Amino acid sequence: MKALQWETADEINLALAGRFRNIRRRRRISQEKMSQMSGVSLGSLKRFERTGSISLLSLTKLAMALDCADEIRGLFTGVVYRNMDEVLNERILSEVRELRKPKRVGESSRRSGKR
């Protein structure tokens, strides 16, 4: 059974923008200065704070400028498994990725003990 969602994507993004704006303001960084620090255009920054709309790359740049990049790095890292199928699927995908990795010269002979 799927959990009910009480917020829309727009509402989540707007709340995120509000938290960003609060951090920027409490550090007394103007929008102009934040734009310079991050390399994100002033228009994009203003739109983000007003609407919550921004590219992931620009959001990452803003987080880095605030020294909050760990917040971005941590996205999706603490997601728990919903059921046993997810555990098994992850294991299978991991094994497939391992099989698809290109072999380095001499790697297969070292594994088998042959030279």
At 63-99, the pLDDT tens digits run 999 999 999 999 999 889 999 999 999 999 999 999 9
- 69 vs 51, 52, 59, CA distance in Å? 22, 18, 10
Q: What is the pLDDT, as a whole number, of residue 86?
A: 93
- The whole-angstrom separation of Cα 98 and Cα 100 is 5
- The answer to whether the CB of 46 falls within 8 A of the CB of 31 is yes
pLDDT in tens, 9-44: 999 999 999 999 999 999 999 999 999 999 999 999
Q: At residue 59, what is the residue type?
A: L
Supply 84's token pair.
Answer: 């046993």
Q: Provide the CATH topology of domain 9-73.
A: 434 Repressor (Amino-terminal Domain) (1.10.260)
Ordered by start, the domain boundaries in the chain are 9-73
Q: What is the pLDDT, as a whole number, of residue 115?
A: 47
- The whole-angstrom separation of Cα 62 and Cα 45 is 9
